[in-house]
Chain A
């Protein structure tokens, strides 16, 4: 099956920035640019001819990878592989470990995971909830220049932006609870991430309860059932809205219990 032999590059311009500033310039306002990070989402799209980029921006050479720590502040570059996140403290590490398999995690990037649009069968972006829970902010480029904003503000408009990095203050404690995936390559049907700050306040967020990760402020004071005031679960190929609505408070309760016991 030589599907990809059909991949034409006659009309494709390949952009290979070597630095962050070159990447920002190459991306411009994002018009007609397809960003290739790890390639795990984009390459099959091209192989099956659902996507033929006018411009392909190869991001991996742009020195946008790596995890840096400055005190409790953690900054993760956009092309850092998901496998690199697996050993980070909860909720990030366990959430990353729950994504696909080793081969995919080694290639797929945090930027691709956070920015991916919805898939054909279910929402993508397994990491979104965990990073919302830790109150992460993202730095992105595009029309209007570089912007820095909370992840939950960035997600609805991510399509036209180039994510550069994401940072957050390591919480005092974190917890993650997700549904088991029927197969290692399935996206997460539903997961809840939580973080507890030094002052005892808690932030919760869900992945899989909507088109992208969403914070669950109503449940943050300890009422797990109130999570359903914040999100409206939907039907898709992975799970029904009914099932998600039943399970969401269960996952929230597990996360709250873990956070309670954590300190």
Chain B
């Protein structure tokens, strides 16, 4: 089975019913998506599939084999953080950092479909991503900042 992740197509040998998250982390060594709960409850493993955020622990890799998977590693361009990642840094929107890759990717999914998302949209879009350090406000601020910049330019 082939799997395209961050623009690179990999041949995958994991068992047929392996969740996407485990293929990414255990076989391909792509460790941005975090294994928090393994049952779709925490959002730490969120990735984009054709631009739509999905929780990779409750998808089988073979369900997405002909689609484009993007992890947090795929957002940076040429070694530079993208605007959303930079905004997370600028706003101090990470504490322990475990939820951060999922937060960034879920927020990226929101801004792809709605660049001028307002605060209720951001909170709704991140509702499935848990931050146990409870640093939600700075995360929301970071996403809103980028939304204002991207939405304002369109």
Residues of A near any B CB (own CB < 8 A)? 1-5, 7-9, 12, 14, 36, 39-40, 43-44, 46-48, 53, 56, 58, 60, 100-104, 106-107, 184-185
B8 in the interface, Cβ–Cβ < 8 Å?
Answer: no
In the complex, A102 Cα to B48 Cα: how many Å?
Answer: 12
For B78-116 the 0/1 string (1 means CB < 8 A from A) is 000000000000000000000000000010011000000
Complex Cα distance, B60 from A53, in Å, reads 14
Cβ B58 vs Cβ A107 within 8 A:
yes
| Cβ 8 A contact of B39, one of A36, A47, A58, A184 | A47
Binary contact readout B50-89 vs A (1 if CB under 8 angstroms, 0 otherwise): 0011110111101100000000000000000000000000
**Residue among A14, A48, A102 with max Cβ neighbours from chain B (10 Å):** A102
Closest to A3 in B: B38
Q: Which residue of B lies closest to A51 (CB)?
A: B17
**Closest B residue by C-beta to A41:** B58
Are A103 and B53 in contact (CB-based, < 8 A)?
A: yes
- Chain B residues lying within 8 Å of A1, measured Cβ to Cβ, are 35, 38
Knowing A39-B63, A104-B40, A185-B128 touch, does A9 contact B17 (C-beta < 8 A)? yes
A44 & B16 in contact (Cβ 8 Å cutoff): no
Inside 8 A of B21's CB, which chain A residues have their CB?
4
Q: Is the CB of B128 within 8 A of A104?
A: yes
In the bound complex, residues from chain A placing their C-beta under 8 Å from that of B46 are: 103
Does B147 sit within 8 A of A, measured CB to CB?
no
Report the nearest A residue to B42, measured CB to CB.
Answer: A185
List A contacts of B59 (CB < 8 A).
Answer: 39, 43, 107
Report whether B16 and A12 are in contact in the complex, using a CB–CB cutoff of 8 Å: yes
In the bound complex, how far is the Cα of B59 from the Cα of A103, in angstroms?
Answer: 11
Complex: chain B residue closest to A46, CB-CB: B17
Residue B125 lies at the interface, judged by CB distance under 8 Å to chain A: yes
Q: List 10 A-B contacts (CB under 8 A).
A: A2-B22, A4-B57, A14-B62, A36-B63, A39-B59, A43-B40, A44-B38, A47-B39, A47-B57, A102-B127
Contact partner of A101 (CB less than 8 A), chosen from B39, B60, B63, B128, is B128
B interface SS class: mixed
State whether A56 touches B128 (Cβ < 8 A).
no
CB–CB A184/B127 < 8 A: yes
Q: Inside 8 A of B35's CB, which chain A residues have their CB?
A: 1-3
Q: How far is the CB of A101 from chain B (nearest CB, A)?
A: 3
B128 — nearest CB in chain A belongs to which residue? A101
B26 & A2 in contact (Cβ 8 Å cutoff): yes
Min CB distance, A168 to chain B, in Å?
27
A4 engages B40 (CB within 8 Å): no
Distance between Cα atoms of A47 and B17 in the complex (Å): 9
Enumerate chain A residues within 8 angstroms of B118, measured Cβ to Cβ: none
A39 touches B16 (CB 8 A): no
Q: B11 at the A/B interface (Cβ < 8 Å)? A: no
Instruction: Find out whether the CB atom of B128 lies under 8 angstroms from the CB atom of A9.
Output: no
Complex: chain B residue closest to A47, CB-CB: B38
B6-32 to A contact mask, C-beta < 8 Å, 1/0: 000000000111110110011000000
* B residues near A185, Cβ cutoff 8 Å: 40-41, 128
State whether the Cβ of B43 lies closer than 8 Å to any Cβ in chain A: yes
CB distance from A5 to the nearest CB of B (A): 6
Contacts of B54 in A (CB 8 A): 103, 106-107
Known A-B contacts A39-B58, A39-B59, A185-B41; the reply to A4 vs B19 at CB < 8 A is: yes
A103–B17 CB distance below 8 A: no
**Which listed residue, A3, A7, A43, touches B58 by the CB 8 Å rule?**
A43
Residue contact B128 to A103, C-beta cutoff 8 Å = yes
B17 x A56 contact (CB < 8 A) = yes
